[in-house]
Amino acid sequence: MNRIKELRKKQKKSQSDIAAALSVSEKTISRWENEESTIKSDKAQQLADYFGVSVAYLLGHHEETFRFSFPSDDKEFSKETQRVIDIIDKALEEDSNNYIEPQLQQTRDSLILFRSVRDKSKKHFDNDLDTALYKKPKDIEFYRYLNYLLELPDKRIDAELLARCSLLDYEDKKFILEMIKKMK
């Protein structure tokens, strides 16, 4: 059972407020609340963002099940990542709500990617860079590209450069780009 009505009432919102925010009709909101129609994945994400919760929580899954943080300890990181992957695998096997399957699969794939990059970066980067890298917000495209570079022996210097540049603040990146332009 989803939590749309519960969240709406808790935040003192009307069906009309939510309908306007999501560009759907009040009848659509009513149907979703009463589970008379299926919420498409993009609208589920918009609703979750609107209420400030995860899609999994919005759709009625136990909130503790989907909490995850990136522990700094390697052993704990690996253990926690596997715990969440196992939870997602179980949910994918049991859940008949196909509309959340893409989000679950994407989360699972992201965790596997983060674990792979972490294992590789531990081998190829110094400890300070590796530590700073994992305090950085997780950007899936960045990690895909970093993973790709780390797999190629002749691109490891590019991988380190990418990792170090990703940690710079906006002003430093802007300054470096200006310097590069002047060098041309």
Domain of 28: which CATH number? 1.10.260.40
| pLDDT number for residue 64 | 41
Same domain (yes/no): 47, 97? no
Contact 150, 120 (CB under 8 A): yes
94 and 109 together in one domain: yes
Supply 114's token pair.
């983060």
Nearest to 62 by CA among 3, 11, 108: 3
Tell whether 96 and 172 lie within a shared domain.
yes
Domain closes at, from 48, 63, 78: 63
What tokens appear for 55 in the block? 């899609």
Last residue of a domain, one of 35, 63, 91: 63
* One domain for residues 113 and 27: no
Q: Are residues 29 and 80 in the same domain?
A: no
Domain count, the chain: 2
Residues 91 and 120 in one domain: yes
**Positive or negative CA dihedral for 52, 54, 60, 65?**
negative
Domain extent at residue 49: 4-63
Q: Which of 21, 42, 63 is the last residue of a domain?
A: 63
In this structure, the answer to whether residues 106 and 169 fall within a common structural domain is yes
Same structural domain for residues 78 and 130? yes
Instruction: Collect all residues with Cβ–Cβ distance below 8 Å to 22 and sequence separation of at least 6.
Output: 29, 43, 46, 47, 50
Residue 139 pLDDT class (50, 70, 90 cuts)? low
pLDDT tens readout for residues 19-70: 999 999 999 999 999 989 888 888 888 888 888 777 778 887 755 444 455 6
Residue burial 63-102, b: 16+ Cβ < 10 Å; e: rest: eebbeeeeeeeeeebeebbeebbebbeebeeeeebebbee
Q: What is the pLDDT of residue 96?
A: 58
